[in-house]
Amino acid sequence: MNRRSFLAAAGMAVEAARAQTTRPPAPSSNVPSRRVYGLNRNWLFHPKPPEGAEAPAFNDAAFQRVTLPHTNIVLPWHSFDDKSYEFVSVYRRHFQAPAAWKGKRVFVDFSGAMTASTVSINGYAFEEYRGGYTPFSFELTPHLKFGGPNILAVRLDSTERAAIPPFGHSIDYLTFGGIYRDVELRVVPETHLANVFAKPVRVLSSDRTVAVRCYLDGPVARPVTITAELHDGGKLLATASTTVSAAAEYHDLTIANLGEIELWDLAHPKLYQVTARLSSGDATGGAGADSYSTRIGFREARFTDRGFFLNGRHIKLRGLNRHQTFPYAGGAMPARVQARDAMVLRKELKCNIVRTSHYPQSPAFLDACDELGLLVLEEIPGWQFIGDLQWQDLAVDNVSRMVRRDWNHPSIVLWGVRINESPDNHDFYTRTNQEAHALDDSRQTGGIRNNYASELLEDVFTMNDFGFPLRPPNHPAYLNTEFNGHMYSTKRFDNVERVAEHVIRHVRVHDQLAGDDRYSGGIAWCAFDYASHKYFGSGDRICYHGVSDIFRLPKPAAGFYRSQCDPQEEVVIEPGFFYSWGDKPGGNGPGLVPICSNCDHLKIYYGDRLLMEADPDRQTYAHLQYPPFMVNLNRLQFNNWADLKIEGYVKGKLAATRTLSGSGTDDHLLVKPDDAELDGDGRDATRLVLAVTDQFGNLRPFASGAIQLSLTGPGEIVGENPFALSGGAGAVWVKAKEAPGTIRIEARHQYLGKQTVEIRVRRAEPEWV
């Protein structure tokens, strides 16, 4: 038997997909042709920089030492002014450029900085990069002091500038500020592989191949050889080579004769590696040798008039929209934390697709989607507004940067090339579609709209439809990309009628979607509550639109998504309500409420007495594989209020039990980190869940009080301390310092006492540059 408590999933540790580059050895006189160095530690930061703060000789002794990812200000989790982070700051990084780098080219690569970055090296300033969600790079080579110290500086404007997408009008989310993604130094030969697009072709046929497009940067003064290799782990499967005698934008190779290949799919997301090598043709590869590796998966994904097909198999898409931001730090969370969101969506909420609303998101999140079998609709930054031609040029550039960064991710099945819910603009959206198709002809495009009569320039009609019943599909390939959300904002601690209705509103839409194959499926708004501007949300600048709260803790509606999995994967019993006698107007118990489960049959006990038996409500929700059980819990005994026990049966056998306490008491303080170990690099972090539960492990949604936290060891708390419970629960994050050891956290509640947890911090190698 399996008793499922409110936060059983909170302790599911995930080894996050790492976007970090393995630290290379310290420099020597024999430097390999390509090195990528993490440049995420030992930054200096000032939120109100004096004049001249980027100058090499500027005295930065008063600057704060920080690591990346970094938010320009730590904020409360709600009720703060977005102007708090809208300011100009300066980051400085001292580093050595070894003499051995002479003859190489050196680039600095930024994964993301919010919002407009003026980068300078040793006093030389590059052109401002405008955009917070896409990567950008600058070549440092001509401005470096080889064999000596160098100063890299970034003047970062985090204000909402109308000339930069997504700004120009109101937007329903916050962008925050800071260098919130990783930075790297890339040391390469004069002529090198700048990018590689490895595209599986005819994946369902026995003559499948990999089309490898190699982008070279630099002159081709003499013939060079490009070799492409397909690897499965350490095993070389197939190769292809070509000789290049002249420079061109790209060079194409085809890897054939692959042998037996495993497909990437939802249940078995098999990944392979493609490595492209550039050499001058001698036995050792020569001084110009270079290599570039990327992961790929073999899969065919198509949206059609009969729905969505993955590897020839019809799949009904069921997913949620995701904002990448977190409490306290905005988007500035490390790879482990970003990747865990993918695990929550795939393993806890059982989604098979996510939309990166409304911008390209963390590479670590997408890596995890590849590894977990979670499909992705990725889109460009924006919200309802189209600016002038220069603004549009930036948006088209965002399409290019998004596609070029992410084209090798097998999880991505659709490019979003339209500004979310914007009006038609034929010329602009002709350009965005042409850009995506020119770079990647293997994926379809979509454009998120809220106008049913909108002009379709994309391959898939992607529609935000908040009504019910939904409108019928009006184009051959149709995907619902938002529903619910702001139409029924719900907090975890709302009245029992509201949280139960919140569940039903998700159930009924997915039931309609499941009943018509012309719908490819639906992506509900949204996975997690999020911070927004003052003209949105519930008065505290939080949009309570998620099926989970901003701390990634589930509301009852999350139970519906969790229940839509095969019981062989997990037997689920999730009450779509909170159990009490008097919370519903009129009292007499919770009323007619849903229990979300993938069981065949339920037995419900009131105290020791069998109250009722129930079957899935297939009459109301005929199209769902696992409809909810609608049970009437009215007129329970007022003077003999008791526990409610739910037994779930699969194929006639007891498979799981869930018990809800009738005591009305706060029984336990739960303190649970997502991970037992962190890396001592000053960047790594994990969530620490704080909750009050009943005796059976269920959340007490009206529990209150402040949790006082104390920490010893090589770590720090990111969040509010003391932490005031919201709906009986919440979270802070624990960030490791740059030292090994053991972090010990004591959490104390005024009435429930204290709990202590430990997190081990592993030694991390220092960045030597």
300 DSSP β-pair partners: none
Phi, psi of 571 (to 5 degrees): -85, 125
Cis ω for the linkage preceding 166 (within 30 of 0): yes
- Dist. CA 320–CA 591, nearest whole Å: 28
- Look up residue 97 and give its two tokens: 């450029």
Mark out the alpha helices in 314-382 (DSSP H runs): 335-343, 363-372
- Look up residue 150 and give its two tokens: 């160098």
- Dist. CA 65–CA 67, nearest whole Å: 7
- Dist. CA 333–CA 54, nearest whole Å: 26
Question: Which of 230, 240, 239 has its CA nearest to residue 261?
Answer: 230
- Dist. CA 274–CA 272, nearest whole Å: 7
Under 8 Å between Cβ of 562 and 596: yes
- Dist. CA 19–CA 623, nearest whole Å: 40
Catalytic pick among 482, 501, 647, 738:
482
Under 8 Å between Cβ of 431 and 462: no
Under 8 Å between Cβ of 198 and 229: no
Give kind and range of the element (H or E) at residue 510. Answer: helix 496-514
- Look up residue 399 and give its two tokens: 């399409």
- Dist. CA 748–CA 669, nearest whole Å: 9
Q: Which amino acid is at 63?
A: F
Under 8 Å between Cβ of 155 and 49: yes
- Look up residue 607 and give its two tokens: 């105290």
Under 8 Å between Cβ of 553 and 10: yes
673 DSSP β-pair partners: 688
Catalytic pick among 421, 501, 647, 720:
421
The DSSP secondary structure of 90-143, one letter per residue, reads EEEEEEEE-GGGTTSEEEEEES--BSEEEEEETTEEPPPEE-SSS-EEEE-GGG
- Look up residue 579 and give its two tokens: 């159990």
Tell me the CA distances in angstroms from 720 to 669, 710, 716, one per residue in order: 18, 12, 12
Return the SS3 of 499: helix
Catalytic status, residue 51: no
Under 8 Å between Cβ of 257 and 228: no
- Dist. CA 654–CA 599, nearest whole Å: 9
Strands 88-97, 43-46: pairing kind: antiparallel
Return the SS3 of 80: coil
Q: Which residue has the tokens 């120009």?
A: 168
Catalytic status, residue 482: yes
Strands 460-464, 444-449: pairing kind: parallel
- Dist. CA 568–CA 585, nearest whole Å: 39
- Look up residue 294 and give its two tokens: 């990327």
Strands 741-749, 706-712: pairing kind: antiparallel
- Dist. CA 140–CA 124, nearest whole Å: 9
689 DSSP β-pair partners: 672, 731
- Dist. CA 671–CA 691, nearest whole Å: 7
Under 8 Å between Cβ of 302 and 313: no
Sign of CA dihedral 201, 206, 207, 209: positive
Under 8 Å between Cβ of 574 and 559: yes
DSSP state of 190: S
Catalytic residue ranges: 421, 482
